[in-house]
Amino acid sequence: MTAFIIRYKFICMFLCAPFFSFAQIDSLFDLAGQYAHAGNYSRAILEYERIVYLSGQQPQEIRARLAQARILKQTNQPEQALDILISTPLMGIDDSLRAVFLYETALCAFLSNDFNTAEAQFKRMEFRVEDTALYTPYQWLYVLTLTQNGHFEKAREALHKSIKNIPSLSADEQQALSKQIDSLFHEDNLPNLKDPEKAMMLSTFIPGAGQMYAGYPGEGLLNLSLHLVSLSVAAYAGYHGFYITGYVAGLAVFQKFYFGSKERAYHLAEKNNKSQFQEFNSHLSRLMSCQR
Amino acid sequence: MQPLATLFILIIFYSAAMGQQGDETPMPAEQQVGFIHHLMRQNNHHQVSMEIDRLDLQKLDDKWQDSLIFLKGWSAYWQKDLDTAIVYLLKSRPEHHFYSRSRFYASICATSLSDYQRSDSILLTSHIEGPVYQHLRDFQLAGNALLRHDLGTYDSLRERLSASTHYALEEPGKNLDMLAEELHNYKPGNRFVAAGLSAVIPGLGKVYAGKHGEGVSTLLVTGMLGAMAYENYSKAGPANWKTLAAGSIFATYYIGNIWGSYFSVQMQNQQFYDRLHNQIQIHMHVPLRTIF
């Protein structure tokens, strides 16, 4: 009996230790989840950090980091979430967890307006995740990222590829969606982006021309009128012998309008590009929600 | 029979392990402190504070208590919560390894809060041993004297320090000497003199206040407006609306120039003292970071 006890005591110790370790980590995940659910986000992040410290195992550390990033994303801190995810090494995990992690990284980058980093995560996904079915659900973000980076042709191809991976669609439905995609990505429907530098340069030579090029013809005309009025005041005052008045009230005012007009043209071109992207993305989102 | 007994014991242990649910299982003290150091390494000072606040320090051994109290003060310092930092850093006992660091940093926190008397009191009532720490104390006292603009006390303390050849104090000492000289040579401007000068020659008050560019610009603009008013007065007559309009604009700028010069001296003095105090505090920090 004594020999039995001694022999099996050691077997049990070695076999049960992992159970206790996993149980502790699982209970910490539960605890952190409870805090997050109750809205105590700082405490939840702290408990996930404790898991990272205690776990010593990559999958658990990755899960904890993912949970931290999701909380930060939820509380409108995508840049901090991105910092955490980018600095976490991805080793010793399976493809499904890797795909989820890279998707979250891409999403946080997208929300931080870092579209190049977002696109890079999808390239990593393509390279590191063998099973394409794992990242097909995330194609919608990939397409949005490509459009933000101006890669419309790649976005169109990615959309065509994604509809082929939807088993529930019939051949006719797939064909109809393909036509909609081609129509949306037709060159007439793509955002007509304006170059802010060109807008600024146009306003340099003809005041108001940059605003018109940027898509604000009314403001361009108003701007041109203001310039002409100030020049007229200068000319009128000079004609009647009021030279200093003509310079101060005419030319000095013209100069202020002139330099301000160039900056304004640059800003309006950027604003126009942003609203064009928003409009295009709203059509794209409607199309992709039909796909799902 | 024996394999069955083994299996039975394994099932018992597994069930017991899985029975550990979401409540916090207290970590051993050493592991707790290790976790807090892990948070410090990641510069997560807010989480360090949260974690220490969670613990019942009275239940811990003295050595862990001292370390955690110090870490609480240290993380408060990095979060710029200087009042809290002072409270916790001053709790450090003389036997503790971090006692000297705690006292010096408590004193620099009081200096940052502009409570120079308290800063001096912390330094003078601390058990400071060894020539390096004594010289460092004299250096900090000298910095406080300079911040109070007490050049006499500063000079006497710097004489005591001249015996020190510690590398950490040499360069900051020279920098403090330069700042002391700058303070000694500085003559604060008089607001009424600035206003009077601007009344005589527009912009001259601003040049007196040290803002040369602004002064020249004010002179040119006010001069042009004055010339415009005079031109209209001489050509259109005193009662003409153009003369009245130009005269009003000129008068507004002229009075504004006097008003601006009056306040710019005050701002200039304040900016000088703010810049000086910032630089003194930076040079007071440098030896602390080097020695500790």
For A206-240, the pLDDT digits (tens) are 999 999 999 999 999 999 999 999 999 999 999 99
Contact A19 B13 (CB under 8 A): yes
For residue A22, the chain B residues in CB contact (below 8 A) are 17
Among A7, A13, A16, most B C-beta atoms within 10 A, so best to mutate, is A16
Domain assignment present for B213? yes
Q: What percent of chain B has pLDDT over 70?
A: 90
Domain assignment present for A185? no
Contact B47 A49 (CB under 8 A): yes
d(CA B69, CA B72): 5
pLDDT tens digit sequence for B139-186: 999 999 999 999 999 999 988 877 666 788 888 999 999 999 999 999
Domain assignment present for A159? no
pLDDT band at A6 (very low <50, low <70, confident <90, very high): low
Domain assignment present for A245? yes
Q: Answer with the one of A121, A136, A158 that is the final residue of a domain.
A: A121
pLDDT of residue B122: 96
Domain assignment present for B254? yes
Contact A49 B44 (CB under 8 A): yes
pLDDT tens digit sequence for A91-116: 888 889 999 999 999 999 999 999 99
For residue B4, the chain A residues in CB contact (below 8 A) are none
Domain assignment present for A115? yes
Facing residue for B17 by CB, picked from A20, A45, A249: A20
Contact A248 B228 (CB under 8 A): yes
pLDDT band at A122 (very low <50, low <70, confident <90, very high): very high
Q: Answer with the one of A59, A89, A121 that is the final residue of a domain.
A: A121
Domain assignment present for A168? no
Domain assignment present for A137? no
| Between residues B264 and A12, the one the model is more confident about | B264
pLDDT tens digit sequence for A159-200: 888 888 777 778 888 888 889 889 989 888 888 889 999 999
Q: Answer with the one of B71, B100, B127 that is the final residue of a domain.
A: B127
pLDDT higher than 70, residue B9: no
Angle between helix axes B151-161 and B131-147 (nearest 10 degrees) is: 160
Q: Are residues A115 and A23 in the same domain?
A: yes
Facing residue for B18 by CB, picked from A23, A31, A46: A23
For residue B60, what are the domain limits? Answer: 33-127
pLDDT of residue B20: 46
pLDDT higher than 60, residue B19: no
Report ipTM (2 d.p.). Answer: 0.71
Q: Are residues B38 and B118 in the same domain?
A: yes
H helix or E strand, kind and range, residue A54: helix A41-55
pLDDT higher than 90, residue A260: yes
CA angle A164-A167-A168, nearest 5°? 120
Q: Are residues B199 and B119 in the same domain?
A: no
Q: What percent of chain A has pLDDT over 70?
A: 92
pLDDT higher than 60, residue B194: yes
pLDDT band at B273 (very low <50, low <70, confident <90, very high): very high
Minimal C-alpha gap between A121 and chain B (Å): 24
Do the beta carbons of residue A51 and residue A61 sit within 8 Å?
A: yes
Domain assignment present for B183? no
Domain assignment present for B157? no
Mean pLDDT of A61-78: 94
Residue of chain A whose alpha carbon sits nearest to that of B234: A242
Supply the mean pLDDT for chain A: 88
Facing residue for A244 by CB, picked from B5, B22, B227: B227
SS3 per-residue string spanning A154-180:
HHHHHHHHHHHCCCCCCHHHHHHHHHH
> For the whole model, what pTM was predicted?
0.74
Domain assignment present for A188? no
Q: Answer with the one of B77, B92, B127 that is the final residue of a domain.
A: B127
Contact B25 A8 (CB under 8 A): no
Domain assignment present for B140? no
Contact A49 B13 (CB under 8 A): no
Q: Give the tokens for residue A280.
A: 């295009």
Angle between helix axes A78-86 and A95-111 (nearest 10 degrees) is: 140
Minimal C-alpha gap between B85 and chain A (Å): 21
| Straight-line distance from the first to the last Cα atom of chain A, in angstroms, rounded to the nearest whole number | 65
Q: Answer with the one of A98, A121, A144 that is the final residue of a domain.
A: A121
Contact B22 A31 (CB under 8 A): yes
d(CA A91, CA A98): 9
pLDDT tens digit sequence for B48-63: 999 999 888 887 788 7
How many domains does one find in chain B? Answer: 2
Handedness of CA B27, B28, B33, B35 (dihedral sign): negative
Domain assignment present for A238? yes
Q: Are residues A116 and A31 in the same domain?
A: yes
Domain assignment present for B166? no
Q: What percent of chain A has pLDDT over 90?
A: 60
Q: Answer with the one of B89, B106, B127 that is the final residue of a domain.
A: B127
pLDDT band at B138 (very low <50, low <70, confident <90, very high): very high
Which of B:46-65 have CB within 8 Å of A? 46-47, 50-51
For residue B35, the chain A residues in CB contact (below 8 A) are 50, 53-54
pLDDT band at B204 (very low <50, low <70, confident <90, very high): very high
How many domains does one find in chain A? Answer: 2
pLDDT higher than 50, residue B22: no
For residue A104, what are the domain limits? Answer: 18-121
Domain assignment present for B153? no
Chains A, B: CB pairs < 8 Å: 80
CATH number of the structural domain spanning residue A35: 1.25.40.10
Minimal C-alpha gap between B22 and chain A (Å): 5
| Between residues A292 and A143, the one the model is more confident about | A143
pLDDT of residue A140: 87
Facing residue for A244 by CB, picked from B6, B22, B224: B224
B25 at interface of A, judged by CB pairs closer than 8 A: yes
